[in-house]
Structure 1
Amino acid sequence: MAKPKSEDKRNAILAAATQVFAQRGLSAPTAAITTQAGIAEGSLFTYFKTKDELINALYRELKLELADAMLAGFPRKQSVRHRLQHVWNGYVDWGMHHPEGQMVLRQIQVWGGLTEESKAAAGAAFGEFERISEDAVAQRLYRDMPLPFLLGALASLADMTMEFMRRNPEQAAEYRSHGFELFWAGVTRK
């Protein structure tokens, strides 16, 4: 009879994978992950059939964790600017406090093995963010630029903001605000 899978062990594997991938990149061997998790090497494959499956699961976990941070206490009835700033604040605060998760998420997003299923599952958590963008377009708030370009600008500026926040935690709130103001001024019509 097969031994039941432990949620704690699965979470330990994902946490170890985050640490190892942040330090060594996605090409790190699974042995490094199992050592970090304190489990036998074969145990990893009880939970994830392949390393690619592990990376896809880690992507979904990190994206859901990020969505929770961005959308906690979300002000649905506020202006586009207020809602977007709420999402921004949640995003950069999460990245400041979870630098390894942010680093690994960036790696996975450009990795060639990310499945459409994982992208769809992770994207489902960001419905409110999509509605903000739709509202901004409908209200003609954004400049005439492709939406993926605007979202890329948001991600790049957020990465820079998080780095400044980490280096200067006593000024984190100030950098968070400045970063949002730069983004808002850059993407909205005058």
Structure 2
Amino acid sequence: MLTPRSQMKRQQILDAATKLFIQHGYAITMDSIAVEANVSKQTVYAHFKTKDELFETCIRAKCMESQCEEILLNDD
């Protein structure tokens, strides 16, 4: 379970990554995400092991916001 501070940092990373993925696409670097989130690159990797994992988490969060997760995830 994450501490409140760790949860805050994770959310900062997700917010920054979402913003940058929308603006620049997948080509954005983890360094850029760390700068935008005002955390170290090490902190980004502590929460998300890969850029793929971070990207997927951002997409899932946006889908949940839009309530389209079920449709996308149950594409049989």
TM-score, normalising length: structure 2: 0.79
Rounded to whole Å, the distance in 2 between the matches of 1:60 and 1:22 is 14
Match of 2:26 in 1: 26
Rounded to whole Å, the distance in 1 between the matches of 2:44 and 2:53 is 11
Match of 2:62 in 1: 62
Q: Identify which of 57, 70, 73 aligns with 1:123.
A: 70
CA drift of 1:11 comes to 1.0
Match of 1:7 in 2: 7
Rounded to whole Å, the distance in 2 between the matches of 1:49 and 1:123 is 25
Rounded to whole Å, the distance in 2 between the matches of 1:10 and 1:32 is 15
Rounded to whole Å, the distance in 1 between the matches of 2:51 and 2:60 is 14
Moved over 3 A (4+): none
RMSD over aligned CA atoms reads: 2.2
Rounded to whole Å, the distance in 1 between the matches of 2:28 and 2:62 is 18
**Helix, strand or coil at the partner of 1:49:** coil
* Gap regions ≥5 residues in structure 2: none
Aligned residues: 70
Rounded to whole Å, the distance in 1 between the matches of 2:32 and 2:53 is 17
Rounded to whole Å, the distance in 2 between the matches of 1:56 and 1:49 is 12
Match of 1:48 in 2: 48
CA drift of 1:28 comes to 0.7
CA drift of 1:12 comes to 0.8
CA drift of 1:18 comes to 1.3
CA drift of 1:123 comes to 1.8
Amino acid at match of 1:123: E
Rounded to whole Å, the distance in 2 between the matches of 1:56 and 1:18 is 10
Structure whose alpha-carbon radius of gyration is higher: 1
Match of 1:35 in 2: 35
Rounded to whole Å, the distance in 1 between the matches of 2:8 and 2:70 is 25
Identical positions, percent: 31
